[in-house]
Structure 1
Amino acid sequence: MQISKSLNPQIVVARNGQGKLLSKLLNKPLKSITRRTNRSEVLDLICRRNGYEFRLIRRWFAEEKRFCLWLSNLSVKEFTANDIMDIYRCRWQVELLFKELKSHTNWHRFATRKETLVTGLIWLSLLALLLRRSLASRLFPAVSLLKAAQNTEVWLWPIIENLLQRAWSETCFWLEKAQAYLCQNAFKTPQRKSCKYKTLDACFERLNA
């Protein structure tokens, strides 16, 4: 989990991002380790606070000039510091997906109290989200999925309607219209360098490397 920067435990074991032991950091409070005293971009630490020991990952984001902290109980032998950070980014991407699911698929209320119908509607909503994301990405690789989700009645609904009616020529027409609309209205905002590797695909690529 990501934690508050106000945490200041004592360092028991210290390694850099490559796993090299840093004996000079032992028994020091976390906040005493600044960019001046240690230039490691990533620190993989075992810390102690109130009698409890825990693993703490700290990374320096140079472009934003800030530290980010992660608390984990995953084994140092099985998971590197980079693994921990990638796993957290995957969790965050899943959270964003469900935020989109709730915000843009009318999950605020259902017009039924039957459990089976509600379950079916939830699955249909998830399928609709995956369809929307997949189609938008194929039509325009630089698309902002959040922006694409906001105006589906403009670009997605006509495609679905014509597909259901098997109107193939009209479907092709609306696919071209959708591509033009997404290129103009759903362009992804350029990301900071530190954010480029936070996408779900980028995380999966590193975890499977």
Structure 2
Amino acid sequence: MGVFFFPQSINPTILSAVREDGKNLNRYKGKKLKEVLSGFPKDQYLDLDVEWPGFKAWPYRLVVRWNDRRLKWVFVVTNLNRVEFTLNEVLQAYRLRWQIELIFKEIKSYSGWHRFNTKSATLVFSLILMSFVVVTLKRYLAHAAQANLYESGAIEEISTHKAMKSGTRLFGNVILSLMNAGKSLLSHTRKLLDFWADNAKREHPARDGCSGRTRLGLCAVGGA
């Protein structure tokens, strides 16, 4: 399942079209998107089923809206089921793309990118790649801490941002265990997860439930 922004150049065939107010627009059925795009209403979203040549076995859902500020159409393609995810929920999920930018910000802010103690381009490249590995592993373990909270009946959410900034020594012990054939790995991992469970909880869970990433009831995949 996914929600993706697509460029202006897309031109699939329309299988069905429903306006934001629920009205079916049968006149667009069987038409190419670019043939009828100029006739789309700019004051309402459109929820389409579309297909591309060569991929007729996989129809997709296309949400179309007009951006008044940029004066252009915005296309969001997804395979989320229309029964389970409303038009507004698809658009809310698309807005969560800023989470990707937060990952890059965390990497640049907490991985020592401001200074590398080497002039070797090869070493710099290796250190940058290792930063991505560290952030990925920390996020996975933060989600594991979250899963532990759920299992204990707690409703608190773990902040991946706080997890990235804290527990440096405990995380280092986990890495050392991995480098030492996994010796004491379980013990060090539990200490890290327990630390984050106590010290890396999200500050404003009620706000996140209204406007943040938990608004749609989504949960992290992995780290269970």
TM score, norm. by length of structure 2: 0.53
Deviation at 1:138, TM superposition (A): 1.3
1:16 counterpart residue number: 20
Q: Percent identity at matched positions?
A: 28
1:128 counterpart residue number: 134
**CA, structure 1 residues 85+73, in 2 after alignment: closer, same or farther (shift >3 Å)?**
farther
2:29 counterpart residue number: none
| Structure 2 unaligned spans of 5+ | 6-18, 26-42, 47-63, 79-86, 148-156
Deviations 1:149-189 (A, max 9, x none): 11232321111112212353x32222221122111101123
How far apart, in 1, do the equivalents of 2:177 and 2:188 lie?
Answer: 9
Aligned length: 151
**CA, structure 1 residues 186+18, in 2 after alignment: closer, same or farther (shift >3 Å)?**
farther
Alignment equivalent of 2:124, drawn from 100, 115, 118: 118
AA partner of residue 138 (structure 2): R
**C-alpha contact (below 8 Å) 1:44/1:81 kept by paired residues:** no
How far apart, in 1, do the equivalents of 2:71 and 2:170 lie?
Answer: 42
Q: Secondary structure, in 3 states, of the residue corresponding to 2:115? A: coil
How far apart, in 2, do the equivalents of 1:199 and 1:97 lie?
Answer: 21
Deviations 1:67-97 (A, max 9, x none): xx88753458x6777655533422x111111
1:175 counterpart residue number: 189
How far apart, in 1, do the equivalents of 2:118 and 2:218 lie?
Answer: 34
**CA, structure 1 residues 100+72, in 2 after alignment: closer, same or farther (shift >3 Å)?**
farther
AA partner of residue 173 (structure 2): P
How far apart, in 2, do the equivalents of 1:156 and 1:177 lie?
Answer: 9
| Residue 38 of structure 2 is aligned to residue 44 of structure 1 | no
How far apart, in 1, do the equivalents of 2:21 and 2:112 lie?
Answer: 43
2:33 counterpart residue number: none
| Structure 1 unaligned spans of 5+ | 2-14, 22-29, 31-42, 46-53, 59-68, 205-209
Cα RMSD of the aligned pairs, angstroms, is 3.9
Q: Secondary structure, in 3 states, of the residue corresponding to 1:73? A: strand
